[in-house]
Amino acid sequence: MATVNLVLDIILVLASIWMVVTVSGLGGIVGRTLSLITIGAVVLGLAHLLATLMHRFVPMESSLESFIHRMVVLAGFVLLVIGLGRIRELKA
């Protein structure tokens, strides 16, 4: 099952990179907004891959591993929120 999880984590990262490629080239507020949102998605995808790799290769307390994972996820969500917050600029 560990191998399946690793493969799924890699697929998550590749899908988020695909999102970045899809929105690249868009300019203006829409482009910047979508860029922040997709970078947040990349960070979220990397959070899962990082958690899997840490569990495999870096022996540490389970609570520390969970804390690091949650901090990376929090960073991803902050980027998503900032990007979504910029949508308000489109209304103005």
What one-character DSSP code corresponds to residue 59? -
Check residue 31 and give its pLDDT: 85
In the structure, what pLDDT confidence band is assigned to residue 72 with cuts at 50, 70 and 90? Answer: very high
Q: Which two tokens stand for residue 19?
A: 């999102």
pLDDT over 70 (residue 84): yes
pLDDT one-digit tens code per residue, 13-54? 999 999 888 888 888 888 888 889 999 999 999 999 999 899
Domain segments of the chain as ranges: 2-91
The separation between the first and the last C-alpha atoms of the chain, rounded to the nearest angstrom, is 50
Q: Where are the beta strands (DSSP E) in the chain?
A: none
41: closest CA among 11, 66, 68, 67?
Answer: 11
Measured at the CA of 19, the angle between CA 14 and CA 25, to 5 degrees, comes to: 130
DSSP E strands, 16-92: none
Contacts of residue 65, Cβ cutoff 8 Å, sequence gap at least 6: 51, 54, 55
